[in-house]
Structure formats: structure tokens, C-alpha cells
Amino acid sequence: MAREATLVIIKPDGLKKSLTGDILSRLSQAGLKIIAAKTVKVSESLAKKHYGHLSDRPFFKELLRYITGQLHGENRVLAMVYYGESAISQVRQIVGATNPEEADPVSVRGAYGRILTTGLFENVVHASSSAEDAEKEIKLWFAPSEVVVNLYPCKVITLEKVEQKVWA
């Protein structure tokens, strides 16, 4: 099996419950490398792109409120790319099943997830579920310059009159 990359997001409930250290230490047992990491304020537009495939599900609106931090008063997630042998399946195993009640109790979601009264699965962490999804998601969340391994083909473009915030 070749090396592959996968997107991991510690969702607002994971940050609110201070679970980052525990999640990272569980993931470190997979022997993968973190090749990108940043905190992100999730916009409505990013949330809709990330969860676009679920737009016709009854919990979609609540899912957008969840990932944009409106359920936790915490508009902040930690996004990371893990890289290595079978990264996608290894991380999914550590993270556990989508439904926290069905997830292995020793997995992250089994240990810390819950089902809200609205029915939404509040499951602490996102992990890509296929190579195709991983590529789409990594390209959505990270620019090539933010990832230390050249994962996918890139091109160079010249921008004119780009406004950018820099330190004063």
C-alpha cells in the first residue's frame, strides 16, 4: 500500500472539551506524519463545500451550525493533514464510526461523541473516508504552500493587485 494523505479536523466540540492532546496522542500511535496544521474559523461557505454531499439530509442545517461553531460558541477548528502508509484507514479506525453510539468505545468518537437531542451526531473529529474525498478535502482546506509534502500537481500563477493582511 502506498503512502497517502488524509484530512483530520478536530471539530468545535473537541476543542471546547479540551480533547486535542488526547486525540493527537491517539493518532500518533498510527506512525503517520503531520504534514500540515492550522486553526481555522469556519465560514458558512467553507462548511457548505466541505459537507456539500449531505445537503439533502434532514440534519444538514444543524451540521452547518455545528462545524461553524454555533453550537459551542467556538468558531474554531484544528485542521491537519496526516501522511503515511494506509493513512486513511488507520485514522478512520482510531476515530471510529460516524454514529458515536455505534463506534467502538475505545475509539475517539466512541469515547467522546454523543447524539444531540436534535439527532445530530456530535462526534468530535472529522477524518477523510476515501482517497478521492481526501484529495478534495485537502485541496479545500489547505493551499499547496501550507503542506510540506507535494501531494498533488500544482501550477504557478501570477497575481496582481492582491490585498493581503501583514503584520504592522
Binding residues (CB under 6 A) for ligand IDP: these are 54, 59, 63, 98, 119-121, 123, 126, 129
**Secondary structure of 78-122 as H, E, C letters:** EEEEEEEECHHHHHHHHHCCCCCCCCCCCCHHHHHCEECCCCCEE
Q: Name the 3-class secondary structure at 28.
A: helix
Q: Is 86 in the site for Mg ion (CB under 5 A)?
A: no
CA distance 139 to 142: 6
Give the residue nearest to ligand IDP (CB). 98
Q: Which does 153 bind (CB under 5 to 8 A by kind): Mg ion, ligand IDP, none?
A: none
Q: How far is the CB of 125 from ligand IDP (least distance, A)?
A: 8
Determine contact, residues 113/121, Cβ cutoff 8 Å.
yes
Q: How far is the CB of 53 from Mg ion (least distance, A)?
A: 8
Site for Mg ion in 89-148 (CB under 5 A): 129
Instruction: Please report, as a single letter, which amino acid is at residue 61.
Output: K
CA distance 124 to 116: 12
Q: How far is the CB of 58 from Mg ion (least distance, A)?
A: 17
Nearer to ligand IDP, 12 or 151 (CB): 12
Q: Which does 108 bind (CB under 5 to 8 A by kind): Mg ion, ligand IDP, none?
A: none
Alpha-carbon torsion, ordered 104, 14, 43, 151, to 10 deg: -60
Q: Which does 98 bind (CB under 5 to 8 A by kind): Mg ion, ligand IDP, none?
A: ligand IDP
The torsion angles phi and psi of 16, rounded to 5 degrees, stand at -60, -40
126 catalytic? Reply is yes
Q: How far is the CB of 128 from Mg ion (least distance, A)?
A: 7
Catalytic residues, by residue number, are 126
Q: Give the residues lining the site for Mg ion (CB under 5 A).
A: 129
